Amino acid sequence: MMNTHLPVDNPSFFINRELSWIRFNRHVLDEAQDESHPLLERVKFLAIFANNLDEYFMIRVSGLQRQVNKGVLKSPPDGMTPSQQLDAIRQMLIPELDAQSDIWDKQILPQLDAAGIHIHLYSDLSDEQKKFMHTFFINEVFPVLTPLAFDSAHPFPFISNLSLNLAIIIRDSANKEYFARVKVPTNLFSRLVRVPELPGIGRLDDSEVHLVYLEELIAAHLDMLFPGLEVVASFPFRITRDADLEIEVDEASDLLTTVEEIMEQRAKGKPVRIELDCSMHENICHMLERKLGITSEMLYRVRHPVGIADLMQLMSLDRQDLKDTPFLPSIPAELAEGKDIFSAIRRQDILLYHPYDSFTPVINFIRQAANDPDVLAIKITLYRVGSNSPIVNALMEARENGKDVAALIELKARFDEENNIGWARALEHEGVHVVYGVVGLKVHAKLCMVVRREKDGIRRYVHLGTGNYNATTSRIYTDFGFFTCDRQIGEDVANLFNFLTGYARIERYMKLLVAPVTLRNGIIDRIDREIIRHNENGNGHLIFKMNALVDPLCIAALYRASQVGVNVELQVRGICCLRPGISGISENITVSSIVGRFLEHARIYYFHNGGSEEVFLGSADLMPRNLDRRVEVLFPVENPSLLKTIVSTILPVQLKDTVKVRLLKSDGSYERRKPSDDMPLMNAQTWLVDHRGIWNNDVN
């Protein structure tokens, strides 16, 4: 019998958010170990694992440390205190870092060497190679290095966030030892410096590559930085600082300046982690602890290169034989180059599934609008647009052609602030109406509206998406894009833009679910409706695909559905705080996660609804931040053909994956699904590459 008053504060019903994230990142590390990936793709996963950890410490761990310092005792739904979480994080990460070292040292590095990509110790270079590298050091690197001593006359130098450094012990003629620090200028030089195969001569291609770490090159020449002194030893280290700085402004006009100031402060946040070469002397470790005001629990000794995220540079090598086989994304025939995209959208709604479908039609949608004499206005939200954005260039072109263009650029998009500020200023310079965001909220919704004058009156053409207007990430993130000129959706989008750019306060929308006003209740009401339908018909079924599931109220609603027997299938790529398999609570819930070649980024919410099936796509995960502190949009897919494609093809393929899928267990751990007669070998992403375009019934 359903517990209609299921408590949402029972810790046993929830998995800790921070520990769930670490388990997700372990899936990324597992991909680095998976030999079914080409070799450089495995290097990429290793770098992504490390980069993910950097952001995790800068944002999540720093937040927990601040809570401990302030004496905050409030716990998340799972009941762990901030200090308990920090202890558990360290306990989980130590073996992960050991595994990372083993994968690099014992698997990937030897295979790179066998493939002709040689990463040498400096001491192993030939005399001729050392001579060449010495000249390179003298001419290029030495002039930009600044050795910094620290003693009674020299204060401890400031060490910026994520910078790579050498901690150096030097000794004078009186046998007295001193400490010094040299910053490794990875902002000016590649972390992996190319070494010629023969003196002064390098190959013109990347079939045989010799590399050495920049810090090793510097370490081998430290005597030039400290003449008259003996260099006893040097050790790489790297500091991660608190980058989770809140932006508080009372007026939107202050936002751009405030964000610029926050960006400067980010590099100066308090240290939250120090990565050390495992051979570093204990006396240097203790000195760093004292000078930086940290505890030994913040020190992480590693056997792999410090700052291993820099290995992503290897992906720039021209070795296609060591990378994923490229494919040509499909383009619906009605959206092919030169076709009238507005006529195509008038005929029917159009669904794109990136990267299997090309992002080019989205760019062309705005380009056509920019040059169409009947288009009056273009409005768009921009969260992460990337560099050299064709979308932004099309908006500038539209303004040059006299269109009314409004762009909401979310300056608070974490780690993309600088890029977004640059685009905001460029667009303003062209006369675009630029809005920097909404006070108190992040605008995460993905919306573009084109207003066009036609024979029968004004018509709104709308593109809504699950991902950013970013041509680069569209090739590696799985996301939906949806074109429609549905009148009610158009009115909803117009009203939402009026809220974003003006003072309109819209409490109800005809078709869209919009956070923070209607989205959470819209999801929970539909879950409760599914419970009613199941009690009537016995065929309740919910399928939710998202990046993260954290919100306690939504989790409680899913538990209620499970209790009455509704079949609940969740595919949650990352954090999942719902605990499946609890007797009497969640035994009808399964949770899976796919981590593979592409980053699963699309959000799909399916409700069986007694046979009157309903599907929403959009930008929102079920997290308190998305539902309460962001502007998010979920939109319905009502076209019967597109609805059938999602329900009968795309979702089943995802749910039947037996290659890249992990299944969440009730204890919070994951296990691989084993192929069986009912579920044979299936890689969902590979299948979708091979069958791309079938949802549009035509491949161009």
Q: Which residues are catalytic?
A: 444
Cis peptide before 373 (omega within 30 of 0): no
CA distance 463 to 482: 5
Q: Mark 376-402 as b/e (b = at least 16 C-beta within 10 Å).
A: ebbbbbbbbbbeebbbbebbbbbbeee
Phi, psi of 568 (to 5 degrees): -115, 115
Q: Which helix or strand (DSSP H or E) is residue 541 part of?
A: strand 541-546
Surface-to-core class of residue 321, CB atoms within 10 Å of its CB (0-12 exposed, 13-18 middle, 19+ buried): exposed
Residues with Cβ within 8 Å of 647's Cβ and at least 6 positions away in sequence, in order, are 606, 613, 615
Pull the structure tokens for residue 290: 């004292």
Tokens of 227: 């003449």
540 in Cβ contact with 512 (< 8 Å): no
User: CB atoms < 10 A from the CB of 341, how many?
Assistant: 24
- Distance of alpha carbon 684 from alpha carbon 664, whole angstroms: 18
Beta strand residue intervals within 287-420, DSSP E: 299-302, 350-354, 375-382, 404-409
Residue of 358, 436, 427 lying closest to 398 (CA atoms): 427
Going by C-alpha positions, the residue among 11, 15, 4 that lies closest to residue 570 is 15
Element housing 84 (H / E): helix 82-102
Q: Comparing C-alpha atoms, which of 647, 622, 642, 640 is closest to residue 632?
A: 622
Instruction: Show Cβ contacts of residue 684 under 8 Å, excluding neighbours closer than 6 positions.
Output: 594, 596, 653, 654, 656, 657, 659, 660, 661
- Reported residue count of the chain is 700
61 CB-near residues (< 8 Å, 6+ apart): 86, 89, 272, 273
Amino acid at 462: V
Show the tokens assigned to 320: 């296609």
Residues 56/340, Cβ–Cβ less than 8 Å: no
Determine phi and psi for 506, rounding to 5 degrees: -105, 120
The SS3 call for residue 398 is helix
β-partners of residue 615 are: 606
Q: Which residues, in sequence order, are CB contacts of 41 under 8 Å at separation 6+?
A: 322, 323, 324, 597
Q: Is the dihedral of CA 330, 332, 337, 342 positive or negative?
A: negative
Encode 189-198: b = buried (16+ Cβ within 10 Å), e = exposed.
Answer: bebbbebeee
Nearest to 390 by CA among 471, 316, 270: 471
Residue 74 DSSP symbol? -
118 phi/psi in degrees, rounded to 5: -105, 120
**Rounded distance between C-alpha atoms, residue 630 and residue 553, angstroms:** 17
